[in-house]
Amino acid sequence: MKMTEKDCKGILVFAEQKKERIHRVSYELLGKGKELAAQLDCPLCSVVLGPPDMDVAELIYRGADIVYHITDPMAFAAPDEVLYEQNLVRLIRDVKPEICLFGATNFGRSLAPRVAAKLGAGLTADCTHLAIDQGQLVQIRPAFSENILAHIQSTAYPQMATVRYKEFNEAPRDTNRKGQIKAMEAYVSDNSPVKILEEIVKEDFDIADANVVVAAGAGVKAKEDLKMLQELAELLGGKLGASRAAVEAGLIAKDHQVGYSGNRVKPSIYIACGISGAPQHIAGMKESGIIIAINSDPSAPILNIADYAIVGNLYEIIPKMIRKLKNMKS
């Protein structure tokens, strides 16, 4: 049955959970969803699929007015798009939200199109902004290698979008917030043609998929000095990169090397520590989101392409930064 504008009301945020931990993008969606709901004067709902004893009140604390908790002891322990889709489609048909938001995680990007197909809805991928215009959702996404921003509207209901992680602020947590939790047994729990045999642990190191790269150059003198860079990288959820000079000096393995021939990287944050910035190196990292350079040489070419640069001694600066970040976290 096709949904129309008239019968649809409310915003539904899909909360992705793994081992009962909710992905943070879901809180960001609730944060944004709250704003949109206020403009539309409608409720903000969230749906989570998980075991019956999972604590879903967190979604209330983060701004959901109603949480639909679709439960099954086993079915949602692994990412089975078919089962997820069948349950979500049933719920969406019952609840009839006007807007459905998914995090643009690998799973969200895989699941949302299936759901959209079953509902005959439109879907906009990888949005970076959302707005309301005359009661309609405007979905804004970069396209064409980020060269343009397309403003897209859906012509069918619900209006569906996947939204990039770390674009919006997380909804603040308020443990006094009240809301309604509607737990319900899964509509479907075991007819998927896909069997998930196991989750495997991969240990491939790929600097190219790091969101933050902390890179060491010739200014790093000894192998054990990498420990502090590694610590900084870990505090930022990043990985350790290196210039050719550092690799050739034997400080670190070649798969960490960033450069034109080597690994070209595009992290959100690139922190170049003691890297002068040879053209080969710059060619491998210049498309990074924010470039931070720490170098004692004020004439180092890396400083010219950095957003933020400190001319100074990295052996003084890095430990201080680590201390400060640790203090903030504790």
Please give the residues from 2 up to 21 whose contact with another protein meets the rule CB under 8 A: 16, 18
Q: Tell me which residues in 287-306 interact with another protein (CB under 8 A).
A: 289-292, 296-299, 301, 303-306
Q: Tell me which residues in 135-154 interact with another protein (CB under 8 A).
A: 138-140, 143-145, 147-154
What is the dihedral sign for C-alpha 2, 8, 13, 16? negative
Which residues make Cβ contacts (< 8 Å) with residue 125, sequence separation at least 6?
104, 109, 112, 141, 161, 162
User: Would strands 136-143 and 129-133 be described as parallel, antiparallel, or unpaired?
Assistant: antiparallel
Residue span binding another protein (CB under 8 A) among the ranges 36-44, 172-180, 222-230, 232-240: 232-240
Residue span binding another protein (CB under 8 A) among the ranges 46-54, 66-74, 90-98, 257-265: 257-265
Smallest gap from residue 241 Cβ to another protein (A): 15
# binding residues, another protein (CB under 8 A): 104
Which residues make Cβ contacts (< 8 Å) with residue 97, sequence separation at least 6?
8, 9, 10, 11, 12, 45, 158
User: Would strands 308-311 and 66-71 be described as parallel, antiparallel, or unpaired?
Assistant: unpaired
Distance of CA 30 to the CA centre of its chain: 14
Query: Which of 32/66 has CB closer to another protein?
Result: 32
Residue 78 touching another protein (CB under 8 A): yes
Query: Which of 93/254 has CB closer to another protein?
Result: 254
Q: Tell me which residues in 172-231 interact with another protein (CB under 8 A).
A: 192-202, 211-212, 218
Smallest gap from residue 276 Cβ to another protein (A): 7
d(CA 82, CA 189) in angstroms, rounded, equals 10
H-run or E-run covering 186: none
